[in-house]
Amino acid sequence: MTSRIVEFFGSAPLSEPSVLNAQNHWCPFVDSDCIKNRRRSLGACSLQVGQSEPVIICPNRLYADRFHILKEIADEAFGIDTELLSALDVEVRRRAGELNGREITVFGKYFGKELGIPTPPGLEEGEGAGSFYIDFILVKAGSDNDPEAFVSVEIQTIDTTNSYADAAARYAAGQEYHGPWGEDLTNAGLNWENVSKRILPQLIYKGHALRREPMCFKGLFFVVPQAVYQRIKRRVGGRLLEYPQAAGTITFRTYDLGPMAENGTRGLVFGETFTTTVEQIAFAFVSPQNLPAAGVYEEVISQNLRKIARKKTL
């Protein structure tokens, strides 16, 4: 199935903002260098496969409007009109006696520091790469800046298969792309296998780790494109029970692209939210209900053996 790049350096390929940002390898969503600028996949924010809706393929795309998704989570979790700041900025305010009680300290990329935890005993250093980091930690502290509560946020988009590098290279040069599959089309796809191989196992592991933290009072927030969330639900099958936010829960928050403006840019639109427990997801993952019919493999094997038996020459 063919695909096309829907957003390139923040807007429609070859639109004025896209061309300008591509010249500078600049990501407008984080106001910094594109994280893909050293790869052949540079610049692509979202991809449309076939006639389906575009899917966000770069996590930085979800950070639009000054990390508004994090502020929505902070406001929901802490019940105030929050202000997201780095640990350094909060400490500057504390020393100046200017804290107002709305500050939320953010640990994560673009906020000065990402937090890792020690490798658990029994694992070699680096084993299970990615298992011991959380994308963002949002911390509510007291007047002396000691932590009182925190929530954790994981951001996940979807990886791609095959390549859109030739199209990206042409767009980066400000030129139209006409590939072998047709005008502006590539053979890139979406790597949905990663839902089972990587996304769900890490989500379950981190959810279990965080439920052991007394201050993580509302569990893990998991921000994904709507299409990824739908694929997760399809993979686990059955019906996940809904729970109120608490320690040991996972809250899904989904987002999609809004309609295109005249300058080729799109807004980020909130989709839905759903909270369940780590155990619900873990049990559904290892005991899926959407299995093929019993005996289907036997039938497929038999069909193929019969086809071979009917061949006149081998």
Question: Quick check: 268 and 255 in contact, CB under 8 A?
Answer: yes
Question: Rounded mean pLDDT of 114-143?
Answer: 73
| One-letter amino acid for residue 278 of the chain | V
Query: Rounded to whole angstroms, what are the CA distances from 22 to 46, 178, 199, 264?
Result: 15, 19, 30, 14
With 80 as the cut, is the pLDDT of residue 38 above it?
Answer: no
Any idea which of 125-134, 234-243, 261-270 has the lowest mean pLDDT?
125-134
pLDDT in tens, 209-242: 999 999 999 999 999 999 999 999 988 876 889 9
In this model, does residue 119 exceed pLDDT 80?
no
Count the helix, strand and coil residues of the chain and give each as a percent rounded to the nearest 5.
30, 25, 40
- Residue type at 148 in one-letter notation: E
Comparing CA positions, the residue from 69, 51, 11 lying closest to residue 269 is: 69
> Tokens in use for 255?
């987002």
* Closest among 165, 174, 137 to 153, alpha carbons compared: 137
How far is CA 36 from its chain centroid? Answer: 15
> Higher pLDDT residue, 196 or 64?
64
Tell me what the pLDDT averaged over the chain comes to: 91
Cα torsion 155, 161, 166, 170: sign: negative
- Lowest average pLDDT, out of 34-48, 79-93, 249-263, goes to 34-48
Q: What is the pLDDT of residues 172-192, one digit of tens each?
A: 999 999 989 988 999 999 999
Give the distance from CA 306 to its chain's centroid: 45
Q: Give CA torsion, residues 130, 131, 132, 135, to 10 deg.
A: 60
Pairing of strands 249-260, 220-225: parallel
Confidence band of 127 (pLDDT split at 50, 70, 90): very low
Cα 154 from Cα 220, distance rounded (Å): 7
Q: What is the pLDDT of residue 188?
A: 95
Compute how many other C-beta atoms are within 10 angstroms of the C-beta atom of residue 284: 22
Long-range contacts of 30-37 (CB under 8 A, 24+ apart): 30/60, 30/63, 30/110, 32/110, 34/9, 34/60, 35/60
User: 164: closest CA among 194, 191, 190, 187?
Assistant: 187
- The Cα 171–Cα 20 span in angstroms is 11
Average pLDDT of span 111-134: 67
CA distance from start to end of the chain: 33
Give the pLDDT score at 288: 72
Answer left, alpha or beta for residue 273, where phi above 0 means left and psi between -120 and 50 means alpha: beta
CA distance to 61, 232, 260, per residue, from 269 (Å) = 12, 20, 12
- pLDDT at position 124 is 58
List the structure tokens of 50: 């076939």
